[in-house]
Structure 1
Amino acid sequence: MDGLLPVDEKTALLFHGQPPLNLTVDKFKELIGGGKYHQYLNYFYGITVEEALILAVQEEVRKERRTSGYSNREHDVVSEVYRRIYGATKPVLLKRFRREKGYPYLKSISLTELKEFTYWLFKYRLKQCDKARIASDTKKALQQLNINGYPRGLVTDESPEAS
C-alpha cells in the first residue's frame, strides 16, 4: 500500500478501520463483485459479529457476577458465556470442531484456527437456535460493535452525496 494512499488515510484505514471512500452497498458490491461481497458478509457476520456476541455476553456475565458477589474468575466466566450462547463449554465445542475438521487436539490454538472456530460456532448457533434467538443475538452483537466504536466499515446505506 506504500505510495497508493496518503499517510493519514493509510493510518485511518489500518488502525481505525476508516476507508478513504464512503461507498453505498450497491457501489461496493459492484466494485468487488457478488461473490466477494458474499464472502465479505460471511466474514462480517460469521466472525466479527460472532466475536462481538461473545464479548457482549461476557460483559453481561461479569456484571451479573459482580452484583451477586460471585467470583469473576476468567475460566468460570468464559465457561458460562459459551454455555449461554451455544449450550456447551468452550473446550467441549473446540473438541467437537477439531474432531469434525480432523484437526489435532492441541493445548493452544493459532489465530487462523481461532477464526475458523469462531465461524464454525456461528454456523453451529444457526443450526441449534430458533430464528427469534438468532435475530436477538445478532442485534445484541451489532449493538456491542456500535458501543465499542466499530467503524461503519466500507459501506453505508447513504449515498455519498447525502454525507
Structure 2
Amino acid sequence: MTAELHERTRDPEDVTTPEAVIVTFRREILAGEPWYPALLRAIGRWRLPREQVDGRLYHYLIGGEAFDWLLLAERLTDAAADLIPEHEREQLLFFNRPPLELGPDEFRRLIGPAKYRAHLNFLYGVVVEEALQLAVELDVQKELRARVWGSDRRTDETVFERIYGRTREELLAEFRGERGLPQAPSISLTEQREFTYWLFKRRLRTADPARVASDTRRGLVQLSRLEACRRPRPTEAEPVAEQVIEVMRHG
C-alpha cells in the first residue's frame, strides 16, 4: 500500500512529481474542467506519502496504509487557490461538502482503487475510531452528571479503559515504545492520528469479533449523528459498513 503513494524515480517526463501533478491540475481547471473532479484526478496521480512545504509537514499516509485525502486536497487546492471559489474550497476542506455530488464508484475511479482502499482505512481506522471514543465519552459524562457525589477520575481514562482495557497513558507509552518515539508530555496532530490508527488495529487484534463489530457500529452511528448536523446526506465517498477495510479483513 505504501508503495502506491511513494514518489517514483523522477525523470523529465514523469507526470507524477508534485510539480507535474499541480501543473496538470491547474491546466485542467483553466481548460474549463470542473475543479472538483480535476482535484480527484490529481489525487489519483499523487505519489508522495508525506512532504514538507514552506515549513509545514503534510503527512498524507497514516501507519503506511490510511490515506487522509482531505489533507492532500488542502495541499493541492492551496496551489490552485486563485482558480477555485473560496467558498467552495472552504466547504470541502472544513465540512467535506464537495461542489459536485459524486457516487462512491465515481470517487473510487477518479482517485484510483489503491487510494480508495487507503481512504477507507483512514475512515474506519481514524474517523470512526474517534467517533467511537466520543460516543463512549458522552456516556461517561452522562453517568458522571447523574452521580450525586461525582467522581475524581479523569474522563479520558475511563473512556480508554472501557474501549481498550487500559488507560490512555499506558497505551500511548506502549505505542511510542513500539515506534521508538520519545515519551513526550505533548502530542502532535500527526502523532495523535497515528496513535488512533494504532488503537484501532490493536482493538481488532485483541477484542472479541462480536465486540469489534458492535463498537464499530457504535462509532458509525455517532459519526452519522455528527454528519447529520453538518449536511443533509452522506458524503460522496461514504462506503457501506460491509466494505470494512483491508486491514480489518487481514489483521
Fold similarity call, TM over 0.5: yes
Question: What letter is aligned with 1:155?
Answer: A
Aligned partners of 1:66 and 1:72 also within 8 Å: no
Structure 1 counterpart SS, 2:191? helix
Per the alignment, residue 140 of structure 1 pairs with 218
Distance in 1 of aligned mates of 2:149 and 2:164: 22
Greater CA radius of gyration, 1 or 2? 2
Per the alignment, residue 161 of structure 1 pairs with none
Distance in 2 of aligned mates of 1:146 and 1:83: 24
Question: What letter is aligned with 2:121?
Answer: N
Per the alignment, residue 195 of structure 2 pairs with 117
Instruction: Report Cα offsets for 1:102-121 as digits up to 9, x if no partner.
Output: 11111111111111000000
Per the alignment, residue 175 of structure 2 pairs with 97
Pairing 1:82–2:164 present: no
Pairing 1:36–2:115 present: yes
Task: Check 1:156–1:65 CA distance in 2 against 1; reply closer, same or farther (3 A cut).
Answer: closer
TM-score after normalising by structure 2: 0.58
Aligned partners of 1:46 and 1:122 also within 8 Å: yes
Question: Which runs of 4 or more aligned residues in structure 1 lie more than 2 Å from their structure 2 counterparts after TM superposition?
Answer: 3-8, 68-73, 149-157
1:137 positional shift: 0.8
Where structure 1 has 5 or more consecutive residues not aligned to the other structure, the ranges are 158-163
1:71 positional shift: 2.8
Pairing 1:154–2:236 present: yes
Aligned partners of 1:53 and 1:137 also within 8 Å: yes
Distance in 2 of aligned mates of 1:153 and 1:70: 43
Q: State the identity %.
A: 46
1:70 positional shift: 4.7
Instruction: Report Cα offsets for 1:68-110 as digits up to 9, x if no partner.
Output: 235366x621111000000000000001101111111111111
Which deviates the most, 145-154 or 107-116? Answer: 145-154
1:52 positional shift: 0.6
Question: What letter is aligned with 2:98?
Answer: P
Per the alignment, residue 66 of structure 1 pairs with 145
Pairing 1:5–2:84 present: yes
RMSD after superposition: 1.8
Which deviates the most, 23-32 or 39-48? Answer: 23-32
Per the alignment, residue 186 of structure 2 pairs with 108
Task: Check 1:70–1:118 CA distance in 2 against 1; reply closer, same or farther (3 A cut).
Answer: farther
TM-score after normalising by structure 1: 0.88
1:26 positional shift: 1.3
Query: Larger RCO: Structure 1 or Structure 2 (Cα < 8 Å, ≥ 6 residues apart)?
Result: 1
Where structure 2 has 5 or more consecutive residues not aligned to the other structure, the ranges are 1-76, 240-251
Size of the aligned set, in residue pairs, is: 156
1:3 positional shift: 3.3
Structure 2 counterpart SS, 1:30? helix
